[in-house]
Amino acid sequence: MEIFILILFCFILPCIVLIKPIKDMIKNKKNIKEILKEYKEEIILFFILILGSLIRIIAIGKYPNALNADEASSGYEAWSIFKSGVDRSGNSFPVVLYAWGSGQNALYSYLLIPVICLTGLCEFGLRLPMAIIGIISLYVFYYLLKNIFNDKKIALVGVAFLAICPWHIMKSRWALESNIFPDLILISVMLLVLGIKNKKKWMQTLSFVILGISSYAYGTAYLFLPVLVFGVLLYLWRKKEISIKRAGIYLAIVFVVSIPIILYVFINTFNLSQLSIGPVTIPLMKENRSKEVSTVFSENIYENCITNLLDSLKIILIQSDGLEWNSISDYGLFYGFSTIFLIYGIYISFRKYKKNEFNIIMQIWSVSAIILCAFCIPNINRINIIMFPCIYYIAIGLYEIFSKYKIMIPCIIAIYVGVFICFMQDYFQKDYNEYSTFTSGIKEVSEYCEKSDLENVYCYYSFKEPFIYFLFYSEYDVNNYLNTVEFFDEAGVFDNVKSFGKYKFYLPEYVPDDSIIVVPKGSNLNYENNIKNKITINQFDLYEF
């Protein structure tokens, strides 16, 4: 299965860009030399797409080498909904997953369902949709730039940079559900540009449908989308690209598609009762986490907005938020020296292309993202919607330098190739077990415990949310989970599971017979019972009593 998917997306799909050259060669009986000269951009694009696709999908089940708790949660929720129609809180087809008690975006889990039907619940299947949407974004970004500027060369520069961009590579290789949000906006903007340019109303309509769907991808959409949608529609109406009636239709489309998520925000903001519409649940969370990550409801809103903007600017300029799983410090989001091209590209965009209406749509995206940054306590994930505009401006800056100083092209390309090779080497050698939110080695532990006839499994809380890994790897029946789950009595944002079924996530004062204790390798146990057996699995010791 993995090999087939790899061949499909990395070698067969890129052949799409060669269809026109091949048809021309056959129809007009042109030789290879003529085709290479006439379609050199398409041929270069073909190899860029192969490289970019391979980087995003090869060995995604193994690298990152540890599974994130949020990844495992998204995967188990998809499995649970697929098997039983409810998430692990018992909500039927929720618009937002209850998850830890403060909500988790549901769209990625729903996208996972057809994939895990084929692959089962595993790391490869869990990360596959994210890798695929990352690959699709390469194509989308190329055709977006090509249609904005009517220039294949700037589009090639843009897609080549995106193909080796550390932020996009890293976010495409692990299944943090919020990371599909910027790609959906990119697809929507590309469809809108094509729809306006070619007078295709169906493309414009589809664009706004996807904008509505993106509201289910990440909580920051609640702030970002209204600004983007109103800004774009107002601009297109003033430019007479669309009528006021058409603008109203597009606004209505986004509103109707987003109604369940609007109700969700309303219910959780005012602490109203949970709502069901047919089989769909609009849940009330234990805690409204938006208050934790947003300054919309803060008392010192103006001061906090300025602080958020400055912190966001700092993240973009130094290309790090201190979280190595978001940005490797030696390489940053876009490679450190790309900041020069980013600043230059912004300058060129607002000066040279100020009358390009499609460039202005990208500027509206940028401004909408900046407004979001003002109301969001930033880290790279929370402000991920600003990343594509940054890459867009870097592409403009690079292309402008290449156009003016052709002698610098080989030097700049060589530098990027060098740092890219170093980045990939460091990325694939990185041990994600160093980070508290990632854990590996549980699969084999879970398999051993599932096969064991012993009645109790006690797992020490030595890593983040151990219960979700046992649910994920055992493909545990959600109905059995709901009937047996107990929680620690703790106030706060998260629901912490104390036990379910035979699994307990604490160490008892006295170990009953017929029990397994799971602790980090090398831990000392001070129990009077005789240990009947001890085995070591990965970085864990398992003691049988």
List of the chain residues with pLDDT < 50: none
- The structure tokens 């940028």 sit at 366
Contacts for 214 with CB less than 8 Å, ≥ 6 apart: 107, 181, 184, 185, 188, 221, 225
> How confident is the model at residue 32, as a pLDDT?
87
Answer for the pair 439, 433: CB distance below 8 angstroms, yes or no.
Answer: yes
pLDDT digit string, tens, across residues 417-457 = 999 999 999 999 999 999 989 999 999 999 999 999 999 99
> How confident is the model at residue 289, as a pLDDT?
65
> How confident is the model at residue 297, as a pLDDT?
59
> How confident is the model at residue 291, as a pLDDT?
59
Other Cβ atoms less than 10 A from the Cβ of 171: the count is 26
Dig out the tokens for 413 from the structure: 């390309």
Q: State the Cα angle at 250 between 248 and 254, rounded to 5°.
A: 115
> How confident is the model at residue 201, as a pLDDT?
97
**Residue from 101, 495, 91 nearest 289 by CA:** 101
> How confident is the model at residue 293, as a pLDDT?
59
> How confident is the model at residue 197, as a pLDDT?
96
> How confident is the model at residue 294, as a pLDDT?
63
Other Cβ atoms less than 10 A from the Cβ of 313: the count is 13
> How confident is the model at residue 298, as a pLDDT?
62
> How confident is the model at residue 290, as a pLDDT?
64
Dig out the tokens for 267 from the structure: 């219910």
Task: In whole angstroms, give the CA distance from residue 14 to residue 163.
Answer: 13
Q: Is the dihedral of CA 331, 336, 337, 341 positive or negative?
A: positive
- The domain spans of the chain are 292-430, 441-544
> How confident is the model at residue 492, as a pLDDT?
59
> How confident is the model at residue 528, as a pLDDT?
76
**Residue from 363, 397, 380 nearest 315 by CA:** 380
Contacts for 81 with CB less than 8 Å, ≥ 6 apart: 87, 93, 109, 110, 113
pLDDT digit string, tens, across residues 369-390 = 999 999 999 999 999 999 999 9
Element (H, E) at 138: helix 123-149
**Contacts from 251-255 at CB under 8 Å and sequence distance 24+?**
251/208, 253/205, 253/208, 253/209, 253/212, 254/208, 254/211, 254/212, 254/225, 254/229, 255/212
> How confident is the model at residue 374, as a pLDDT?
94
Answer for the pair 372, 227: CB distance below 8 angstroms, yes or no.
Answer: yes
pTM score: 0.96
